[in-house]
Chains A and B, each alone.
Chain A
């Protein structure tokens, strides 16, 4: 019996290499780099107008040339006649990569324990192989700001490009320390705190924020004076805001809170960005005057108050832009980041106009993140994040034909598309075989 078993295993082992080679159908299409000439399109540059019959050369991950007479030498030519080239869209606030299935706690990595944890790095927890990433990028969203949430200082957000196998390969060059400004708004209908309790909670949170800030200032002063400091990762990260190395991104939404946040940053020598800003339209002038840029959204959202006009969230970005605020648009989503173009389009339809709305998902966030030399427009020298579309990619029925991220040609496939391919015409159909 024993000998039989041994013989059987020997037999199996002999066949293993063969078995490993056999029976794998189809080939997985990966993102690939190279030299590509996108020929003869209408190029919507965002910063330099709209150019007809124009070609774009992609080489070494960059936009090498934008023009009418570009040599195709050595390049893979992609005919874009009748199509439109836009820069890749940037979503200025998501949890993409930090969440796989929202209701399954084990797959949620955006909220760490504790109230003051600015040293928590969103970039660390980004899963480059999340199913949501290929689902998102085929819509033309090429870059997202991934944000931790939770306590008062929940962590550090990171900008990522939606291509790459490690977080570092995805990292797009911008980080910010996140602050959740003490909120007078309710978290939902289940939030049954009295107005007084909310006020008390707010005062307590603001006191804590002030203490943290003062501590960080002290830490920074000591550190820059060359003092030997005990290991204090929270303050080490906060001190980077004081030193100007990192900006602080303040999530703030209710009008009164926005005003308080404007007061809070007064006299603080650091870079600030506001995010959310749902009621920004109520105090748009004050935000503009303070010169604070905003990452606004979601746009497809209910008004914050029952008495508000039904379209309050649709019109918010437009109203702030008109008042002179620099506005970027975000979805605040995870698996639905692909809807960024629709959020922007609703802002466009409700007062912002198409041109401003396009800026709000391209050059404006690039400028706010200090990366306008790399992202946000179709210009030679910038990173090749590009979309080729049958029409304006905001339009619901538009078909995205090609996507380039970091110069990589992105396969237009993902779980949703594969399931479509398998099940559109199922076999067997209704009857067996």
Chain B
């Protein structure tokens, strides 16, 4: 009970911190752009009026209320801020690799607002990223959805507080490598992965019942029931079963994807998104029917065995089969040109402009449960916007300005080159990195491997 009180106090403390965070909201009138609304077609020579961080009007010949700056976007394209449904940017650590289920861990506790990767993502038009736990565990930690409000030193400012909870799951090579082969504990196989999931959810059901029984008994007069011990890990699994958390599951092979669909259906879970999903195309009808779709790479393959039988046509096949499909980065490099990654679905599968743009805007918004707030240019939505020179799906396109909540955080014309918020006073010579560790899905699991396998750690996704 004492523990529980501490927990409550901590929670209260946190909620005050979050409530007190005053994020900046801006007002601006962007004029004469080709407006790619994504959900409501393309509007030529149109204006978008933003007030206090919200899109107030979309139309022609709008005039700026007094005090609102006007930006001339003649000849340029305006699109919704790009949303990356899989990223590890701005996280201090990624993996809590100590057990096959670590549902209690929260990425919002390790958000690093100083990481220059946030600014670099903005320079690629990305306004929201889904900062995920790694893939070392079958049930990983809870992810956090970030809004790229660059410049604040308060982690709370870059967290999208009105986004729903999501959690990382992982199937296949990574969890079996870390636990089965690294530590000699279940799971070592895809059979074990299923067992971990089913055992975990059944334990959560028992836990839920214990609390229900206790609550019922304690409402009776003169009861002497002792409360069950609070368990954050099991409570989180209960929250998943009750539909309060969206699962985002790292997955590659069709069989494991199909397995999780079956587990989810057996436990009545329908808030399920697959991540990476390289063989999703093989079970596209099932993904379309039973899940919130898949978030995939545009063209990555062959970096490990479970992605050897991949196709760059994955996103197109999923889309044509009716699955909600998004294109993500999982990379500090790729996140900077997701508009180009989305365009690859036109080379590989002939997607229309609207389909391709949806994959980096409204579709990831749906998968993160924030489609009512962002992901398209519609009146009433949050003003996350990007101005492009050239159509964003052209390989020659260049993001010019990026807005979050109507505040400009990137401007190609006026920004300084050096965007670091904090420079180490002890760092005499700035280090030069030839191979930026930009893929971090398996970061923090190196301890579990011998030196030989460490050298093979180029591929961590």
Residues of A within 8 A of B (CB): 100-105, 131-132, 183-190, 195, 253-254, 276, 278-279, 300-302, 304-311, 334-336, 338-339, 341-342, 345-346, 348-350, 394-399, 415-417, 419-420, 423-426, 429-430
Contacts and interface: CB of A to CB of B under 8 A. Distances in A.
B130 to A, nearest CB: 20
A308 B336 CA distance: 15
A397 B417 contact: no
A105 B456 contact: yes
B300 A396 contact: no
Contact of B332 (A186, A302, A307, A416): A302
B395 A395 contact: yes
Given A307-B420, A396-B347, 18 more contacts: A101-B302, A101-B308, A103-B305, A186-B432, A301-B333, A302-B332, A302-B333, A306-B116, A308-B417, A310-B123, A336-B300, A349-B390, A349-B395, A394-B396, A398-B347, A423-B317, A424-B313, A426-B321
A424 B348 CA distance: 12
A417 to B, nearest CB: 7
B458 interface: yes
Nearest to B452: A105
Interface stretch (B161-169, B265-273, B279-287): B279-287
A259 to B, nearest CB: 13
Interface in B407-461: 417-420, 428-438, 446, 456, 458-459
A104 B307 CA distance: 12
B314 to A, nearest CB: 9
A302 B120 contact: yes
Q: Give the residue among B311, B337, B398, B418 with the most A Cβ atoms within 10 A.
A: B311
A349 B346 CA distance: 20
B173 to A, nearest CB: 8
Nearest to A302: B436
Contacts of A278: 434
B49 interface: no
A134 B172 CA distance: 28
Given A394-B395, A415-B309, A423-B284, A186 B289 contact: no
Task: Provide the main secondary structure of the chain A interface.
Answer: loop
29 contacts: A100-B302, A101-B308, A103-B459, A104-B305, A131-B302, A131-B308, A195-B428, A301-B436, A307-B417, A307-B430, A310-B119, A310-B124, A345-B396, A348-B396, A395-B394, A395-B395, A397-B346, A415-B309, A416-B311, A417-B311, A419-B311, A423-B284, A423-B311, A423-B317, A424-B316, A425-B320, A426-B282, A430-B286, A430-B288
Contacts of B288: 430
A104 B303 CA distance: 8
B347 to A, nearest CB: 6
Contacts of B437: 188-190
A420 B395 contact: no
A102 B458 CA distance: 8
Contacts of B2: none
| Band of interface residues on B | 35 or more
Contacts of A396: 340, 343-344, 346-347, 393-395
A423 B319 CA distance: 12
A85 B216 CA distance: 77
A183 B434 contact: yes
Contacts of A276: 434
A173 B99 CA distance: 54
Contacts of B390: 349
A188 B336 contact: no
Nearest to B281: A423
Contacts of B346: 396-397
B349 interface: yes
Nearest to A130: B302
- Nearest first, the 5 A-B pairs at minimum CB distance are A420-B313, A397-B346, A396-B343, A309-B417, A103-B304
Contacts of B304: 101-104
B151 to A, nearest CB: 15
Contacts of B310: 416, 419
B420 A253 contact: no
A349 B394 CA distance: 10
A417 B309 contact: no
Given A306-B420, A310-B120, A349 B397 contact: yes
Contacts of B436: 188, 301-302
Contacts of A348: 396
A290 B124 CA distance: 35
B255 interface: no
Nearest to B343: A396
A307 B424 CA distance: 12
Interface in B99-131: 116, 119-120, 123-124
Contacts of A304: 432-434
B52 interface: no
Nearest to B119: A310
B14 to A, nearest CB: 29
Contacts of B194: none
Given A349-B395, A416-B313, A185 B305 contact: no
A60 B80 CA distance: 53
